[in-house]
Amino acid sequence: MNVPTVGVLALQGAFREHLNIFDSLGVNTRGVRTSADLAGLDALAIPGGESTTMSRLAADLGVLEPVADVVRSGLPTLGTCAGMIMLADEVIDGRSDQQSFGGLQIAVRRNAFGRQSESFEAQVSMPVLGEPAFPGVFIRAPWVEQASESVEVWGQVERPEGSRIVAVRQGPVVATAFHPELADDDRVHRKFLSLI
């Protein structure tokens, strides 16, 4: 059986944590910093971090379009927090010069849960993973405000302002508003690998 190779966009953010989890799950891993690093990948992860910085670095280093191309071509892709923003077709409250890879027919709101000081942990209801609920780590996290009918809601979190969509899947693309790479729980990563 061939062992899949998962690339992790390694421009900024929590890419090391993703590499560590995928390593622990027995797959080959590679940091992606150039368009050449995309060759031969079976899947790609886009980590949490700062979406405007990630967007600028991706453009400056010439990987914005190549990553968008592989996502559009159907490469299984996981985006977490800023990665969700980078995969969204529409970013609400984004900077005017911010660009994304696209690939998910969703509209996300940046920093929807508040500033860094308002970061929190909460149990995320994710029936696709079974029980117990997933321990979500939310750091300046987005939420999904709109999703097309072709987008599956994978996870929601209850907040004082109501239930918010924080995990979705559309075909081979999965995104979470929280940081599964910072939780002591590898179920999101294992579920994503099952899509390869």
Which of the residues 90, 121, 161, 179 is marked catalytic? 179
Cross-strand partners of 135: 123
17 is catalytic: no
Contact 183, 137 (CB under 8 A): yes
Which of the residues 81, 90, 121, 189 is marked catalytic? 81
Cα atoms found within 13 Å of the Cα of residue 85, Cβ hemisphere only: 28
Residues 196/187/86/144 CA torsion (nearest 10 deg):
120
Surface-to-core class of residue 11, CB atoms within 10 Å of its CB (0-12 exposed, 13-18 middle, 19+ buried)? buried
> Pairing between strand 104-109 and 143-147?
antiparallel
149 is catalytic: no
> Pairing between strand 104-109 and 134-138?
unpaired
181 is catalytic: yes
11: which 2 tokens? 């421009």
Peptide bond before residue 135 is cis, with ω within 30 degrees of 0: no
Which of the residues 17, 18, 181, 189 is marked catalytic? 181
* Residues marked as catalytic: 81, 179, 181
